[in-house]
Amino acid sequence: MKIQIRKGRKEDLKSVLNLIKELAEYENAIDEVTITLKELETDGFGDSQHYKFLVAEIDEKIIGLSFYWFRYSTWKGKFLFLEDFIVMEKYRRTGVGSKLFEATIKICKDLKMNGMCWQVLDWNKNAIEFYNKYNAEISNSWLNGKLTKKQIANFKYHY
C-alpha cells in the first residue's frame, strides 16, 4: 500500500467535503455541517485563501485529510491551527494518519511557526492516544466559545 501525501487542490474539494462529513458523522454532529462545496472553493481558492489542506492518497483515491489555517496568538505568535484531521475508517491504524500528521508538523517547521494546535473531543480516546504518541499537550482547562452566523445576524447592539 503506497501512501502519498500532497498539498490539496481545488479539484479535491468534493472528496474533502465527504471527509468533513465523515468526521462530523463520527462525532455525532452531521447536522452541524452547513458548509457547501461552493463556499469551500471560494474560501480556499478565491481572492483570499482562508485555509490550506493536505491529502493522503492511495492509488489516487483521497483517504485522509489535514485541514488547517494560520492563527496568531498575542502570547506566542504564529500557530498552525489543525481544524480537521481525518483518515477514512478502513485505513486507520495503517500508518496513514502518522504520515499525514507528520507532514503537517513539517509545514509548521518549514514556515517557522511557533507551534501547532487543535481540538479533540474528550471522549475520542483513539485520537487522544494518537496525539499522545507525539507528546502533545491535551488541555482540559480551556472551554470553547463561539457565536454562530445566525446569532450574529440576530444580535442587537447596545451602544
Catalytic residue, from 26, 131, 157, 159: name it. Answer: 131
The pTM (predicted TM-score) of the whole model is: 0.92
pLDDT at 1 over 80: no
Note if 51 is an active site residue: no
Distance CA 56, CA 6 (A): 7
Per-residue pLDDT for 145 more than 80?
Answer: yes
What's residue 158's pLDDT?
85
Task: Choose the CATH number for 3-153 among 1.20.120.1200, 3.40.630.30, 3.30.565.10, 3.30.465.10.
Answer: 3.40.630.30
Question: Does residue 116 contact residue 135 with C-beta atoms inside 8 Å?
Answer: no
Q: Is 67 strand, coil or helix?
A: strand
Per-domain residue ranges of the chain: 3-153
Amino acid at 41: E
| d(C-alpha 131, C-alpha 40), whole Å | 27
Question: Across all residues in the chain, what is the average pLDDT?
Answer: 96
The predicted-structure confidence for 67-98, as pLDDT tens digits, reads as follows: 999 999 999 999 999 999 999 999 999 999 99
Query: What grid cell was written down for 138?
Result: 491535551
Confidence category of residue 140, pLDDT binned at 50, 70, 90:
confident
Cα pseudo-dihedral 14, 18, 21, 26, rounded to 10: -160
- Report the alpha-carbon distance of residue 141 to residue 77 in Å, rounded: 21
